[in-house]
Amino acid sequence: MSEYIRGLKLDIITCILGLGGGAFIMGLYLKSPTVHLLTLGGALFFASLAYLILSRINDTRREDIHICKDKSTKNVLEAAFLILFAISLVTYHASENRTIFYFISISLCTGIVALLCAGVTKKRDVIIQIVNIIVLSLNIKLAKFYFFGGSGVDYWIHLKMNEMLSQLGNIGVLSGKEQFFPIMHIDVALTQIMLNLPVKGASMISIILPLVISSICVYFIGRELFGEKIGLLGMLIVNISDYQNWWGFAPQTTSYGAIIFFFSVFAIYKLTNLKNKKNWLATAGILMFAMIIAHAISSFILFTALVGLITGSFLYTIIFSEKGKFFFPALMMIYAIGLMQHWFIAEYRADGPPFFDQIVATLSTYVTEHAGFLNRPEAAPEYAALLPPLSESLVNNLGLALLIFLAVIGALYWLSFDFRSRTTFSILVCTTLLLGITFVFPLFGIRNIIPHRWFVFEYLFLAIMAAFAIIHISMLMSRKQQICVIFVVFTCLSFFMLTATSSNLANLDSPLWLKESTISTTYTIQEMKGAETISCHSERVFSDLRYGVSIIGVYYGHKHDPFDSMDLSDRSGSVFIWRRYMENRPIRMFTQVEGYYKQVESNVIPGPEYLKELEKMQRVYENDDVSGYYIS
């Protein structure tokens, strides 16, 4: 039986299932016009179709990647990278935000670095490309981090707690469950004190820089599995990805969790080797303990990844009758016991229920009361009519779709007889489990998990699969074709990843599309100063929901009753903070949709006409980005 299964073409069988599954997922769009059904279903369908075609090509045509055959080619590429890198910085600082020229120059830099990574021949070249990737990643993250006042929603909560912890030195200042997950806050506070840095500088040293450095784990895993080129390209993909940059712009506990996750997975991978198992076991144990008390969601994702790896290993043993020896089961059991024990102790909020009880209760509520296939607001005709144009939504999701497309091709290669192994099979099962949770929960309208927090962890595996696919597809081509394909793919992947604007993504501040439906949570320094000044002179200050809660309420600690209606007749005696942003960009309000069980987000642009009405009132404050109006 095992010989029969071993002889089956699992890649082709899975490929056929992918064609059917992709077509089915795309078909669901007709019932619920959620753009991810089209893009991700399409990625699965067309990747399976592409692999069917690729599998028919004779392997004897394969040739190695020889992009940098001579030193002059490499020098030209290095010079082009430095010039484009400089142009990106000049372009950024010459404008008020990140324009299309910034994104184009960064994307071209990415394409050139990809060529250099695919053409490495010496150890020195590898080190240079690792440095290039790190520098490029820091450009993307720090330009936005330092140019603006800050980005994100939870970011402001953690920023305030970090400041208070460094001043008072007591974790009692951490709010709610954060007292039980304090490592990130302690790290930032210690850095702030020891290096005498402001909280943003300490956040950069403690979180952003380690987040970028942790991506080298992708290189190490990819290198040991498939060689230097795939390792480098995988590292590059992670650093240009949307969510890795989002958590770099807005450093917080999820960012810290991603750092520990990358190092933990690498340590666990090293346990499969025969050398230094005791050292790596100790390292993995320390990292996993740190993860438990660092971030709840990240610790659960690591547990899920462990379950996937172990399940994949056991399935491989059963299917292919190949025995393997792993520390994984015992390690996972110890980790699971520690995780559950901590969740039973940790309080979800001050004097509230344990974290575990709250999570289970919330999941039970959603499953028993609200869960249903495609029970999403998009399925309600009234809400579907408010959705942005399909063409813009498709373009907005091309980055993720392209990555999934390439990763699926890489996964199908891994299932083939030539590349199938216990390690690759385990990674495939692990990635399938993580992606399954990420997409299946929202498919049934269950909001007990926050899907956008899972992607950065999954990119560790998806990046290696995608890099593998690119290299092996390129090996079927001539040298000139290799250069064109690698450059175009990485340039496009970078551009569409970095310009994605939907919920909590890299480019909320200066979208190239979906401008009328993308609510920015990135605030300028002037917007922060305006809120600080006005709230110091008036106790009754309000503004739009996201900005008001984050800046006025959380960061400056003032009471805030959000602007939730265009009618200000009941706001007499208050000061309304008008942001220049509101003239052509949306703010967050809520509306009730018939056929859905709760209110949904409604994007409203107050616009210049509303500003004209405000101008009839007394203006009490003004700077470049903010005006304050006394409502009489």
pLDDT tens string 118-159: 989 889 999 999 999 999 999 999 988 888 888 888 899 999
Residue type, 44: L
Tokens of 226: 């498939």
Q: Establish if 507 belongs to a structural domain.
A: no
Residue 172 is encoded by which pair of tokens? 């009692």
Pair (453, 602) in one structural domain: no
For 354-413, the DSSP string reads: BHHHHHHHHHHHIIIII--TT-SGGGSHHHHTTSPPHHHHHHHTHHHHHHHHHHHHHHHH
Do 551 and 448 lie in one domain? The reply is no
My answer on whether 534 and 485 are in the same domain is no
Using alpha carbons only, give the angle 145, 487, 424 rounded to the nearest 5 degrees.
Answer: 85
pTM: 0.92
Residue 573 φ/ψ region, left for φ over 0, alpha for ψ in the -120 to 50 degree band, beta for the rest: left
Per the CB < 8 A criterion, the answer to whether 233 and 485 are in contact is no
495 and 542 co-located in one domain: no
Is the Cβ–Cβ distance between 298 and 258 less than 8 Å? yes
The number of distinct structural domains making up the chain is 2
Contacts of 149 (CB under 8 A, 6+ apart): 523, 524, 525, 527, 528
Pair type for strands 626-630 and 575-579:
antiparallel
**DSSP SS3 for 590:** strand
How much is the pLDDT for 1? 45
Q: Which amino acid is at 349?
A: R
**Rg for the chain, CA atoms, rounded:** 25
DSSP label of 582: G
Q: Which two tokens stand for residue 423?
A: 């390690």
Regarding whether 539 and 469 lie in a shared domain, the answer is no
Q: Tokens in use for 556?
A: 């400056």
Rounded to whole angstroms, the Cα distance separating 26 from 39 reads 8
Question: Is 74 part of any domain?
Answer: yes
| Residue 511 in domain | no
Query: Are residue 324 and residue 385 in the same domain, yes or no?
Result: yes
Return the residue matching tokens 């800050």.
150
**How much of the chain is in helix, strand and coil states, percent to nearest 5?**
65, 5, 25
Same domain, 158 and 31: yes
Cα–Cα dist 451/225, whole Å: 29
Q: How far separated are the first and last CA of the chain, in Å rounded?
A: 83
- Same domain, yes or no: 491 and 602: no
Asked whether residue 603 is domain-assigned, the answer is yes
DSSP one-letter code for 347: B
CA dihedral 132, 137, 140, 146 (to 10 degrees): -110
pLDDT (0 to 100) of residue 63: 64
Length of the chain: 632
Residue ranges of the chain whose pLDDT lies below 50? 1, 503
Check: CB of residue 40 under 8 Å from CB of residue 398. no
How high is the pLDDT of residue 382? 67
d(CA 558, CA 542) in angstroms, rounded, equals 10
User: What are the tokens at 569?
Assistant: 């007749």
Determine, yes or no, domain membership for 423: yes
Same-domain pairing of 465 and 568: no
Q: How far apart are CA 116 and CA 80, in angstroms?
A: 11
Under DSSP, the state recorded for 38 is H
**CA–CA separation, 376 vs 596, rounded Å?**
8
For residues 147 and 413, give the distance between their C-alpha atoms in angstroms, rounded to a whole number: 43
Shared domain check, 263 and 120: yes
Q: Which two tokens stand for residue 327?
A: 């520390």
Query: Do 463 and 530 belong to one domain?
Result: no
Tell which residue, 320, 335, 212, has the closest CA to residue 271: 335
Residue 427 CB-density burial (10 A; 0-12 exposed, 13-18 middle, 19+ buried)? buried
Residues 391 and 275 in one domain: yes
Residue range(s) defining the domain that contains residue 566 = 523-631
Answer whether residue 122 is part of any domain: yes
21: CB partners within 8 A, 6+ apart: 41, 44, 45
Tens-place pLDDT, residues 594-611: 666 566 677 888 999 999
Residue 511 DSSP class: -
Token pair, residue 464, equals 């290696």
In a domain, 518, yes or no: no
List Cα–Cα distances, 359 to 5, 19, 337, 340, in angstroms: 41, 36, 17, 12
Domain membership of residue 506 (yes or no) is: no
